[in-house]
Structure 1
Amino acid sequence: MAMKHRNLKGIVTATVIFTAICAPATAQTADSTDEKALLARLAEASAAEAPQLDRQLQAIWNRSGSPAMDFLLTRGRDALERGDTAAAIEHLTALTDHAPEFAEGWFLRATAYYTAGLYGPALSDLERALTINPNNYDAIFGLGTLLEAFGNPKLAFEAYGRALALNPHHEETIKAMDRLKPEVEGKAL
């Protein structure tokens, strides 16, 4: 029963977060003018143009404004890539403690928590990341992934749709939507 209660609590929390990210974006991020222009171009880009626009957005989102915080982000990302989630969580916790308005730190720590199987903390960090930067389609994809893990394919599908609206060429999201489409929309007879 405790597990069902935790899942229900997670689903309710995820629903609240999802509702918040689907509302019009109002949070400000660094280089918001450039970000808005890049997001508009990405939404209309060809498959050939999309990777370059994605790299430019990632470059904006990965700049904290502090070399020390950028270093912690790099250390956390490197630890995660090595499979050392404990070290990743340590570095990224230091980052979020010292730069609480830096969305990418929260998003990457959410990824580390998810990798470690800690879905509650992952969801909490995604909420913070999306509050700061509601346009991060990778974080929205992560939310969809968590919603799937919580057994809510309909909300996951909606989250994936929001991510695709921002980046129509996000391959993982396209695959996730293709996988969930028959379950959510039903099968044609």
Structure 2
Amino acid sequence: MRFVVLPTIIFLSAAAPGIVAAEDFPHPASADQVAETSGQKLDRLLAELKREGNPKAADRIARRIQQEWSQSGSASVDLMMQWAQKAAASGKYDVALDFLDLVVTLQPDYAEGWNRRATVHYTMKSYAKSMADINRALALEPRHYGAISGLARIMTDTERKEAAVDAWQRVLDIYPALRSAQERLSTLSEELAGRSA
């Protein structure tokens, strides 16, 4: 949580030039207003992503969306997310899970915390746990194409190709220019067509 510190103002005289009344200062935004502004920005970026056909331009928009999703609003949670990322990158998945368990306990409405924990579970081949976390992430942010991509990968790994096709199509409904999703969807569709031929 960030605290805004306003300087103390000494009022010498009501007629003194350059002196402003307290009501002339903008009031700090309430938590609801900040969340609404962030939500509006996310809506706008996701709308831009849906319209963007150029993969490089879409990738730039996607990175901005990821930045929005990554903002937990808590310095402590952000730090634990960083530690979890470093631990996972070093192959210390149990350590990463310890941090991510704390993240989702401290901030259960933070979709990216659930998504990151789902990713670690997926890496460890703990598909049931990964699915449970993906479901929590998507309940909080249904447009989280990263979480839906994780779902598609699990469906592919567990030989549920029709479900994987549906999941990749959901990803492309949100992020049409995502090349990796296009390629995976094409490959799976060909495999299913060959199987039914």
- TM-score (normalised: structure 2): 0.77
Give the conservation status (yes or no) of the 8 Å contact 2:70–2:112.
yes
Counterpart Cα distance in 2 of 1:58 and 1:168: 16
Counterpart Cα distance in 2 of 1:109 and 1:30: 27
Q: Quick check: 1:107 aligned with 2:115?
A: yes
- TM-score (normalised: structure 1): 0.80
**Aligned counterpart for 1:36 among listed residues 25, 43, 64:** 43
Letter in 2 for 1:37: R
Larger radius of gyration: 2
Q: Higher helix share goes to which structure?
A: 1
Structure 1, gaps ≥5 residues long: 1-27
Q: Quick check: 1:119 aligned with 2:122?
A: no
Q: Relative to structure 1, is the Cα distance of residues 100 and 123 closer, same or farther in structure 2, using a 3 angstrom cutoff?
A: same
Letter in 1 for 2:157: A
- Give SS of 1:48's match: helix
Structure 2, gaps ≥5 residues long: 1-34
Q: Quick check: 1:84 aligned with 2:75?
A: no
The percentage of counterpart residues that share the same residue type is 28
- Give SS of 2:55's match: coil
Query: Displacement, 1:180?
Result: 0.3
Give the conservation status (yes or no) of the 8 Å contact 1:111–1:122.
yes
Letter in 1 for 2:160: N
**Aligned counterpart for 1:148 among listed residues 156, 170, 177:** 156
Deviating above 6 A after TM superposition, structure 1's stretches of 4 or more consecutive aligned residues are: none
Which structure is richer in relative contact order (CA contacts within 8 A, separation 6 or more)?
A: 1
Counterpart Cα distance in 1 of 2:101 and 2:71: 17
Give the conservation status (yes or no) of the 8 Å contact 1:153–1:184.
yes
Counterpart Cα distance in 2 of 1:83 and 1:125: 20
Counterpart Cα distance in 1 of 2:116 and 2:183: 22
- Cα distance per residue 1:57-111 (max 9 Å; x no partner): 0010000110101111111112112221111111111111111100000000000
Query: Displacement, 1:188?
Result: 10
Counterpart Cα distance in 2 of 1:141 and 1:165: 12
